[in-house]
A and B are shown apart, each in its own frame.
Chain A
Amino acid sequence: MIVACPACVAAPVPAEPVPAETAVQLSVPSVRCAACISTIETHLSQVQGVVSARVNLTQKRVQIVTDEPATQMVAALKEVGFDAYPLDARALVGDVDAEGRDLLLRMGVAGFAMMNVMLLSVAVWSGASGATRDLFHLISASIALPMVLYAAQPFFKNAISALRVGRLNMDVPISLAIILAGGMSLFETLMGGAHAYFDAALSLTFFLLIGRYLEHRTRSAAHSAAKELAALEAHTAERKTETGTEVVAIDALNVGDIVHVSSGMRVPADGTLITPNGVTDRSLLTGESEPVSHAAFDLLHAGEINLAGPIEVKVSAIGQDTRLHQIAQMVEVAENARNRYTSLADRAAQIYAPAVHLLALATFVGWYVWSGEVRHALNIAIAVLIITCPCALGLAVPAVSTAAISRLYRLGFLVKSGTALERLAEVKTIVLDKTGTLTSPDFNFDLSAFAPDDLCIAKALAQSSAHPLSRALHQHLEDQTATELTDIQEVPGSGVSAKCDGVFVALGKAEWLAPSESGLCLKIGDHVQTLPFQEPLRTGVFDMVNGLQDAGFELDILSGDTLPKTRRLADTLGLDRFRSGVSPEGKNAIITDLAAKGHAPCMIGDGLNDSVALASAHASIAPGTALDAARNAADVIVIDDTMAKIPQVFAISHKAVSLSRQNFGIAIAYNAVAVPIAILGHATPLAAALAMSLSSITVLINAARVGYGK
C-alpha cells in the first residue's frame, strides 16, 4: 500500500495562474449566508467586464476576474447592499497556505496509517503469538516506519533547531519518543519480542499533528487578518507635477513636493498648508473631537483628514522625520516588550521537557541496577517516554484557543495574536479612549430652547460656511427655511457674520462672539445664545460599560480632548475616573504605570495617539474604524459596529484560560495514573494506546466547550 512518495502525489496542485492585472480581491465582511453568496455572484456576473466572481465565505472575500478597476467592483457590490474593501493584490501574494496544507497532509497520512496499524495491533493484543505475532509486527513496521519518518518531520526539524542552540523545547521529548518507539519496536520485532509500539508511534504523531495544525490555523488567521487590514488603506498620494497630478506611493514623496488632498482624504505626509485656509479632523492623531481650522503655512501632520474643500500641502518632512514615524517607533519598542510574554504552553513545556527526560533516565538507571539487563531496562525507559507523551499537553492550549477564537470571530471580533486570550484573561483595569472609541465623530444638536425665527437665521448663516460644524447644523435644520441675509462674511477660524434687516447676526466660536461662553454661539443683535451639541455615543457603549463594570473591571477614560468634553462624557456614562488632554506619550506613561502597579491594563482605543498605549498595554482592543497603526498595535479588532459585545471578549478569554488549565490537569491526571505503571515495568502497548487516545480525546472534547454556552 505504500506509495512511492506521498509528498509527490499530494503536493498541492499549483494554483492556476491568474494574471495579476485581471484579478480583483475584495474583502466583504458582511457576507454571511448562502443567499449572500448567490446574490453577490449573480449580480457580479451581470456586471459588464466581469469574467467570473467567486465568494469565499470562510475568508469573507470575493475574487473577481475582470479588467475593470477595483473601485468599480466596490460600487457594484454597494448596489446590492454589501460594503466591500479592495485588498492590495501585492500584499496577498503567496496567500495560498502551503504550510497549512503540508501539515494537513501529514496529519491525514499519520491518521490513516495509525488506523491500519491499530487494526493489525488488535490481533496482537487479543493474543496472537509466535510466527503470527511476528508477521503482524512486520507488516505494522513496514507501514509505520516510513509513515512516521514522513509525518513527524515538523517535530524533528524543530527539535534539531532547538538542540543546535542548546535549548530544550516540547519537540525534543516528542521526537525522542517517536524515534525510540519506532526503533525499539523494530528491534523487538526482529528479535521476536512481545511488545511493539508501532501504533503508539503513529498515534503520538497523529494527535500532536492535530495540535500543530490547530496552532498553525490560529497563527495564520491572525497573520492574514493583519495583512487584510494593511491592505484596506491605500498608501498613495496625489503629487502635483507640471502637467497635472500623478499618483505615487507615499514612500516616493520628497521634501518640497506639493501634494493635492481632496475632501475626505488623509494628509499623506507632514507639511505646510499652501491653500489660504483649511479644516482638518485630527481626532485620530490627538483625540480632539472638534475639527481644527488652519490658515496658510500652518503645519499639518500625516493622518489628519481634510474636511473642507481640496487643499494643497507642501511636504516638509518624510520618512523618519514625520510625527507618524516617531509614534511608529514608540509602538515598536512597546511591542518588543510585550513579545516577551511567556504563554501557558511555554511555561508548561519548560517544566515538562526536563522532567520527562530525567524520569526516563532514572527509570533506565534504576532498572539496569536492579536487573542488570540493558535491553529490559531500555524497553521500560522507552515505555515511560511513550506513556508520558505530551499529546494531551500539546493539544491542551491550541485546541482551546482555536475554538475560542472562532467563537469570537462569529461574534464579530478578530483576534490577532495567539497569546491575546491569556493576556486578556489577566486584565484588571480597562482604559478607554474617548473620541472614536466611545463617541462617533458626528454632532448632535439640542436646539429645543430656540425660537423658530432664530433657527432660520442660524440655518442661513450655517449654509454659507464650509466648516463641518456648520454643515452638521445645516443638515440638522433641514426643516427650517433660511432667512435672507446680506453682507455675508466668513472670518477664517472664527465663524460667519451677516446682516439681517440691518441687524448684525453671527455664528461662530464663543471666543469670538462672547468670551464668557464656550462652544458654538449664535449672536443676533447683542443677544448671544450657545448652541449646545454633543458627540453621539457609539452604539453599544452603555452596554459595554455596564457589562464591564458588572464583571468587576475598573474603568478609566484617557482622552486627548478638552476637560469639559471629557467630563461630560464621563458623567453620561457614570464613570468617575477620567483624564483629559493626555498626549500619546502621556497615555503610554499612564498605561506603563498601571502595569507596574499590577493592574494589567487593557487599552481600548482607535487613534494614532492611542497606538503606543495599545502596544504597551497588557492587552488591547481597537474598533474596526481605527487607524492602521492602532489596528496593527491591537490584539483584538471589533469588526461589528457595536461595542456592546466587548464584555464577552473578556468572558470568553477567561473561560478559554480556565479550560486550558483544566486540560493540563486532565493530561497530568492521566500521566499520574500511567507513569507509575510504566516505571514499574507493567506498561503494555495496549495500555500506552489507551492512555494516549483517551487523554487526547478528553482534552479535545473539553476544549470544544468554549465554543458553546454562555
Chain B
Amino acid sequence: MNVLVFLIPISLGLGALGIFAFVWTLRSNQYDDPSGDAARILAEDETCL
C-alpha cells in the first residue's frame, strides 16, 4: 500500500496538468474558430498563428 504515497500525488498532478492545459487553450482563444483552424493547417506560408 506504500505505493499509494507516490501514485495518488501523481494522479492528482496529471489531473491538474490536464485542467491547466484546458484553461490555457481557452485563454488563448483556441475555441473561437475551430473550423478555420482546421482549414488553416492545409494552407502554406501561414505566418500568424
Known: A37-B39, A58-B33. 13 other contacts (CB 8 A): A1-B16, A10-B26, A12-B26, A33-B39, A34-B40, A58-B35, A104-B26, A104-B31, A105-B26, A112-B18, A119-B11, A139-B12, A143-B12
A138 to chain B, nearest CB (A): 11
With known contacts A1-B16, A33-B39, A115-B15, A58–B26 Cβ distance under 8 A: no
Report how far A38 CA is from B26 CA in the complex, Å: 25
With known contacts A12-B27, A112-B19, A116-B12, A132–B36 Cβ distance under 8 A: no
Q: Is A9 an interface residue (CB 8 A)?
A: yes
7 smallest beta-carbon distances between A and B, as pairs: A57-B36, A34-B39, A116-B15, A1-B16, A34-B42, A10-B23, A112-B19
Write out the residue numbers on chain A whose beta carbons fall within 8 Å of the beta carbon of B28: 13
Report how far A105 CA is from B33 CA in the complex, Å: 17
- Interface size counted on chain B using CB atoms at 8 A: 28
Q: Is A354 an interface residue (CB 8 A)?
A: no
Q: In chain A, what residue has the closest Cβ to B37?
A: A57
Write out the residue numbers on chain A whose beta carbons fall within 8 Å of the beta carbon of B15: 1, 112-113, 115-116, 143
Whether the Cβ atoms of B26 and A37 lie closer than 8 Å is no
Report how far A57 CA is from B4 CA in the complex, Å: 48
From B13, B31, B36, residue with most partner A Cβ within 10 Å: B36
Write out the residue numbers on chain B whose beta carbons fall within 8 Å of the beta carbon of A116: 11-12, 15
With known contacts A108-B19, A116-B11, A10–B27 Cβ distance under 8 A: yes
Please list 24 pairs of residues, one from A and one from B, whose beta carbons are closer than 8 Å in the complex, sorted by A's number: A1-B15, A3-B19, A9-B23, A10-B23, A10-B26, A10-B27, A12-B26, A12-B27, A13-B27, A33-B39, A34-B39, A37-B43, A38-B44, A54-B48, A56-B32, A57-B33, A57-B36, A101-B31, A109-B19, A112-B18, A112-B22, A113-B15, A116-B15, A143-B12
A621 to chain B, nearest CB (A): 25
Write out the residue numbers on chain A whose beta carbons fall within 8 Å of the beta carbon of B29: 13
Q: In chain B, what residue has the closest Cβ to A116?
A: B15
Whether the Cβ atoms of B43 and A34 lie closer than 8 Å is yes
Whether the Cβ atoms of B18 and A57 lie closer than 8 Å is no
Q: Which of B13, B23, B39 contacts A57 (CB 8 A)?
A: B39
Annotate A98-109 by CB proximity to B: 1 below 8 A, 0 otherwise. 000100110011
Q: Is A55 an interface residue (CB 8 A)?
A: yes
Main secondary structure of the interface of A (DSSP, over half): helix
Q: In chain B, what residue has the closest Cβ to A114?
A: B15
- Which residues, 124 to 175 on A, are CB-close (under 8 Å) to B? 132, 139, 143
Residues of B within 8 A of A (CB): 1, 4, 8, 11-13, 15-16, 18-19, 22-23, 26-29, 31-36, 39-40, 42-44, 48
- Interface size counted on chain A using CB atoms at 8 A: 32
Q: In chain B, what residue has the closest Cβ to A9?
A: B23
Write out the residue numbers on chain A whose beta carbons fall within 8 Å of the beta carbon of B18: 112, 115
Whether the Cβ atoms of A108 and B23 lie closer than 8 Å is yes
B31 to chain A, nearest CB (A): 7
B25 to chain A, nearest CB (A): 9
Number of A-B contacts (CB under 8 A): 75
Q: Is A343 an interface residue (CB 8 A)?
A: no
A599 to chain B, nearest CB (A): 39
Q: In chain B, what residue has the closest Cβ to A35?
A: B43
Q: Is A59 an interface residue (CB 8 A)?
A: yes
Write out the residue numbers on chain A whose beta carbons fall within 8 Å of the beta carbon of B39: 33-34, 37, 57
With known contacts A6-B23, A10-B27, A112-B18, A56–B33 Cβ distance under 8 A: yes
Report how far A6 CA is from B22 CA in the complex, Å: 11
Q: In chain A, what residue has the closest Cβ to B46?
A: A38
Q: Which of B26, B31, B33, B43 contacts A59 (CB 8 A)?
A: B33
Report how far A119 CA is from B33 CA in the complex, Å: 33
Report how far A641 CA is from B45 CA in the complex, Å: 34
Report how far A116 CA is from B22 CA in the complex, Å: 15
Whether the Cβ atoms of A38 and B22 lie closer than 8 Å is no
Write out the residue numbers on chain B whose beta carbons fall within 8 Å of the beta carbon of A109: 19
Q: Which of A6, A34, A58, A119 contacts B34 (CB 8 A)?
A: A58
With known contacts A1-B13, A115-B15, A101–B35 Cβ distance under 8 A: no
Whether the Cβ atoms of B43 and A38 lie closer than 8 Å is yes
Write out the residue numbers on chain B whose beta carbons fall within 8 Å of the beta carbon of A34: 39-40, 42-43
Write out the residue numbers on chain B whose beta carbons fall within 8 Å of the beta carbon of A101: 26, 31
Report how far A54 CA is from B32 CA in the complex, Å: 12
Write out the residue numbers on chain A whose beta carbons fall within 8 Å of the beta carbon of B42: 34
Report how far A56 CA is from B37 CA in the complex, Å: 9
Whether the Cβ atoms of A1 and B33 lie closer than 8 Å is no
A104 to chain B, nearest CB (A): 6
A132 to chain B, nearest CB (A): 7
Q: In chain A, what residue has the closest Cβ to B45?
A: A38
Write out the residue numbers on chain A whose beta carbons fall within 8 Å of the beta carbon of B4: 132
Q: In chain A, what residue has the closest Cβ to B15?
A: A116
A633 to chain B, nearest CB (A): 29
Write out the residue numbers on chain A whose beta carbons fall within 8 Å of the beta carbon of B27: 10, 12-13
A52 to chain B, nearest CB (A): 8
Write out the residue numbers on chain A whose beta carbons fall within 8 Å of the beta carbon of B23: 6, 9-10, 105, 108
Report how far A113 CA is from B16 CA in the complex, Å: 9
Report how far A57 CA is from B33 CA in the complex, Å: 6
Write out the residue numbers on chain A whose beta carbons fall within 8 Å of the beta carbon of B8: 120, 139
Report how far A112 CA is from B27 CA in the complex, Å: 17
- Which residues, 82 to 122 on A, are CB-close (under 8 Å) to B? 101, 104-105, 108-109, 112-113, 115-116, 119-120
- Which residues, 580 to 635 on A, are CB-close (under 8 Å) to B? none
Report how far A59 CA is from B36 CA in the complex, Å: 9
Write out the residue numbers on chain B whose beta carbons fall within 8 Å of the beta carbon of A112: 15, 18-19, 22
Annotate A25-66 by CB proximity to B: 1 below 8 A, 0 otherwise. 000000001110110000000000000001111110000000
Report how far A104 CA is from B30 CA in the complex, Å: 12
Report how far A620 CA is from B40 CA in the complex, Å: 36
Write out the residue numbers on chain B whose beta carbons fall within 8 Å of the beta carbon of A35: 43
A114 to chain B, nearest CB (A): 10
B41 to chain A, nearest CB (A): 8
